[in-house]
Amino acid sequence: MSSSTVRARRALALGPGLAALGAILALVAFASITLGSRDIGLSDVLRALFGLDGDGSIEHTVTVDMRVPRTLLGIGVGAGLGVAGAVLQGVTRNPLADTGIMGVNSGAAAFVVLAITVLGVRGVGVYIWFAFAGAILATLLVYAIASLGREGATPVKLALAGAAVTAGMGSLTTGIVMTNVDALNELRFWQVGSLAGRYAPILSGVAPFLIVGLVASLACGRALNGLALGEDTARGLGQRVGLTRAAAFAIVAVLAGAATAACGPIVFVGLIVPHLARFICGPDYRWILPYSMLLSPIVLLLADIVGRVVARPGELQVGVVLGVLGAPVFIGIVRYGRLSEA
């Protein structure tokens, strides 16, 4: 059987799965707009969505101005984190790689604290850009450190550099917030990881970065497949390993930086979802990436809905819910499913 025939049959098998995930994501997104800590009837939600209730009503404000941007941001951030985790696991060949390990979260947090203490910045809408810059610079710093030496940025050196940068940035952040109450209060609100209070301006600010990063990531599937075979094999196939790693890290920096800046460090999505995608579609990154792109926002929005429903009239932040629910899922993957090779 020819390779083209195998690819065609695989596409016929996995293509409908993507369509099904797209339909599930649409249903979950509608549930995210409909359900929340405030009870709003389905008819009122539909009237608000179609502009039939007047702009001044509470139902319209909650539905259109709060829940819709929150849901759209959840879709974008979830897709960004899931794809960033899949790319990181592929480029480092480390099934435990995620944005937290590679310094993204700690870099964003350090720059938020510096913006608060040095420049007096207040509010998510302002320091989102400092968080974005910190996340990108931390990621680039990890890659630059790992690239030192004759062998370049090997998977082991990338993991060690990520751990070193994470520890350094974390120490800087801790040292500042221990002596500055304002920085501690602001950082505590951002660092929990939340979709709450993130409205249209933040969505419009990070959307271009997320879109560009997601589109670019889909072009990396073949290159990540080559890296999965080993560096020597990839070079033998004509692949420029160094350029591939640099491009992959740039994509991770943009996706994870934008997502972390907008919503704070959200755990487990970038770590677990690529394993779920790999379990469904196998080791081919040309399928892992789009599956992760759809699975991640489904997981993130479901966790956000749970947080809004179980603690009425208040709510649990999505970072807390994912931490509680994600840990046993990850343990189950390790215990029963065995971590799949990146």
State which fold the 14-337 domain adopts.
Answer: ABC transporter involved in vitamin B12 uptake, BtuC (1.10.3470)
Comparing CA positions, the residue from 206, 211, 185 lying closest to residue 117 is 185
Q: How far separated are the first and last CA of the chain, in Å rounded?
A: 27
Instruction: Fill in the DSSP letter of residue 218.
Output: G
Tokens of 164: 């070193």
Comparing CA positions, the residue from 127, 134, 212, 120 lying closest to residue 169 is 134
Q: Check pLDDT > 80 for residue 213.
A: yes
Tokens of 107: 């870099």
Comparing CA positions, the residue from 45, 20, 23, 70 lying closest to residue 317 is 70
Coil, strand, or helix at residue 268?
Answer: coil
For residue 334, name the pLDDT band (cuts at 50, 70, 90).
low
- Give the pLDDT of residue 47: 85
- Give the pLDDT of residue 139: 85
User: Mean pLDDT for the chain?
Assistant: 83
Q: Check pLDDT > 70 for residue 2.
A: no
* Helix axes 285-310 and 269-281, enclosed angle (nearest 10): 130
- Give the pLDDT of residue 336: 61
Q: Check pLDDT > 90 for residue 146.
A: no
For residue 175, name the pLDDT band (cuts at 50, 70, 90).
confident
- Give the pLDDT of residue 54: 64
Cα-based distances in Å from 220 to 144, 216, 313: 21, 7, 44
Q: Check pLDDT > 70 for residue 284.
A: yes
Q: Check pLDDT > 80 for residue 281.
A: yes
Better pLDDT: 68 or 121: 68
Residues near 159 by Cβ (< 8 Å), separated by ≥ 6? 92, 94, 97, 101
H/E element, 141: helix 124-147
Comparing CA positions, the residue from 172, 197, 173 lying closest to residue 184 is 173
- 3-state DSSP of 34-86: HCCCCCCCHHHHHHHHCCCCCCCCHHHHHHHHHHHHHHHHHHHHHHHHHHHHH
Q: Check pLDDT > 80 for residue 184.
A: no
Tokens of 299: 């997981």
Residues near 187 by Cβ (< 8 Å), separated by ≥ 6? 109, 112, 113, 116, 173, 177
Better pLDDT: 185 or 178: 178
User: Residues 27-50: what's their mean pLDDT?
Assistant: 86
Q: Check pLDDT > 70 for residue 1.
A: no
- Give the pLDDT of residue 193: 82
Percent of the chain with pLDDT over 90: 23
Q: Check pLDDT > 80 for residue 304.
A: yes
User: Residues 216-245: what's their mean pLDDT?
Assistant: 84
Q: Check pLDDT > 90 for residue 72.
A: yes
Residue linked to tokens 């794809």: 83
Q: Check pLDDT > 70 for residue 179.
A: yes
Q: What are phi and psi of 313, to 5 degrees?
A: -85, 0
Cis peptide before 290 (omega within 30 of 0): no
d(CA 228, CA 212): 24
* Helix axes 68-92 and 285-310, enclosed angle (nearest 10): 140
d(CA 141, CA 148): 11
Q: Please state the separation of Cα 330 from the chain's center in Å.
A: 17
Residue-wise pLDDT tens digits, 80-120: 999 999 998 888 887 878 887 778 888 888 888 888 788 87
- Give the pLDDT of residue 84: 93
For residue 194, name the pLDDT band (cuts at 50, 70, 90).
confident
User: Residues 119-125: what's their mean pLDDT?
Assistant: 71
Percent of the chain with pLDDT over 70: 89
Tokens of 312: 């009425």
pTM of the model: 0.88
